[in-house]
Amino acid sequence: MSGPAGTDFHILCGFLGSGKTTLLLDWLALPEAADTAILVNDVGAFDVDGAVVGRTAGGQMGGDLPLAMLANGCVCCSIGNELVGTVERLVAEREAAGEPPFRRMILECSGLSRPGPVIRSLTDLGRHDFRVRVLATFHPGQGAEHAQHFEEAAAQIAAARTIVLSRLDLPDATSAGAGARAARALNPFARIVAEPDRARRAALAFAPGAGLAPPPNPGLVGLRSLLHPRIGVFLARVPDGLPWDAVAAWIEDLAARCGDRLLRAKGFVRVDGVDGLVLVQGVGTVFSPPMRVPGTDGSDSIGAIVIIAHDADAAMLAEASEPHGVTIEAGR
């Protein structure tokens, strides 16, 4: 669900108390937030976050905020159909009014949501040409501990293209540098926003094209420095020239073997019969369609897919990989 034109669809996630609603309200206070539709999901009979956003942002934007509240449980596990139907309704109402597509849509997830199932639900909306991006808020002083003890927090941070450090404007805040290092240890792919000024932080978080940089060269990631008690970063070496069907079979076996333990995968491979490189990327067990990328870079980043996994080891990944000729290097 990506392309040169269309609507940016931001999946805004982050663990409980990490500052999601504050970031969203700071964004909606900016003039750049025009043409934004908001969907808010909370767990419980009453959507508290939705009420806060509706009252506050509605006043900021003159009552014109397109807002939908999804309060029938956590969006990642119980209301996928409601999410799709609600997005379809907002888009249809926009079209019926004779207005151009929304510039962006933002889904604020419950603090207990996993991004992977949300992305899977959004695949039913492919005709709308959404550019789907995961954005996660991260408490600089507590985020690493949350990820250690709560699988949902680990999944949110690992899935993010952009990680926004919250609470840097407070007097007792952890330093931006320390917070960035903690976030980078959990997700070496992500673009880190470490900005104390709240308005500028929000503008950077939702900037057009944010978080679309290519994955880093695994040789520069410093895998052995990314130590975490339960999150491992691994390197999968894929031989050059495999047919795409062989690469896809490996991906399917890897996802089946790891299940929810697989948090993120991203990298380039050379595929038989394809001129250039193929970008492989997935969030959880949901992998994007392969994307051809021009170039013949001969660096170590080619044929190397970085994998982030929770409570997994190299042996588990190797079990699914070695039959396909893919080798696994542990990052510890």
What does the pLDDT average to over 119-134? 83
| Cβ-contact 40, 49 below 8 angstroms | yes
Confidence (pLDDT) at 44: 40
Confidence category of residue 295, pLDDT binned at 50, 70, 90: low
Confidence (pLDDT) at 301: 56
| Cβ-contact 302, 254 below 8 angstroms | no
Among 53-57, 147-151, 162-166, 271-275, which stretch is predicted with the lowest mean pLDDT? 53-57
| Cβ-contact 107, 97 below 8 angstroms | no
- DSSP annotation string for 142-158: THHHHHHH-HHHHHHHH
Confidence (pLDDT) at 184: 84
Confidence (pLDDT) at 277: 86
Q: What is the mean pLDDT of the chain?
A: 79
- In order of start, what are the domains of the chain with their CATH numbers? 7-205 (3.40.50.300), 218-330 (3.30.1220.10)
Confidence category of residue 61, pLDDT binned at 50, 70, 90: very low
Among 14-23, 50-59, 131-140, 152-161, which stretch is predicted with the lowest mean pLDDT? 50-59
What does the pLDDT average to over 309-316? 88
Provide, rounded to the nearest whole percent, the portion of the chain with pLDDT above 90.
24
pTM over 0.85: no
Tell me the β-bridge partners of 39. 68, 107
d(CA 247, CA 241): 10
Question: Which residues, at least 6 apart from 14, have a Cβ–Cβ distance to it below 8 Å?
Answer: 20, 111, 136, 137, 138, 156, 166
Write the single-letter amino acid at 262: L
d(CA 136, CA 148): 16
Confidence (pLDDT) at 210: 58
Confidence (pLDDT) at 11: 93
User: What is the per-residue pLDDT across 147-191, written as a single tens digit (0 to 9) for each?
Assistant: 777 888 888 988 899 999 988 887 766 788 888 888 888 888 889
Res. 45: pLDDT tops 60: no
What does the pLDDT average to over 289-317? 77
What does the pLDDT average to over 79-97? 83
Confidence category of residue 290, pLDDT binned at 50, 70, 90: confident
Confidence (pLDDT) at 253: 95
Confidence category of residue 257, pLDDT binned at 50, 70, 90: very high
Res. 4: pLDDT tops 60: no
Residue 168 exposure: Cα atoms within 13 Å on the Cβ side = 23
User: What is the per-residue pLDDT across 20-38, written as a single tens digit (0 to 9) for each?
Assistant: 988 999 999 999 888 889 8
Positive or negative torsion for Cα 22, 24, 27, 29: negative
What does the pLDDT average to over 304-330? 89
Res. 109: pLDDT tops 80: yes
More confident position, 250 or 59: 250
What does the pLDDT average to over 102-127? 85
d(CA 139, CA 78): 27
* 3-state helix vs strand vs coil in the chain, percent to 5: 40, 25, 40
Strands 231-237 and 327-330, by their bridges, are antiparallel
CA 13 to chain centre: 8
Confidence category of residue 296, pLDDT binned at 50, 70, 90: low
Tell me the β-bridge partners of 68. 39
Report which of 132, 141, 129, 203 is spatially closest to residue 166, judged by C-alpha positions. Answer: 141
Confidence (pLDDT) at 318: 93
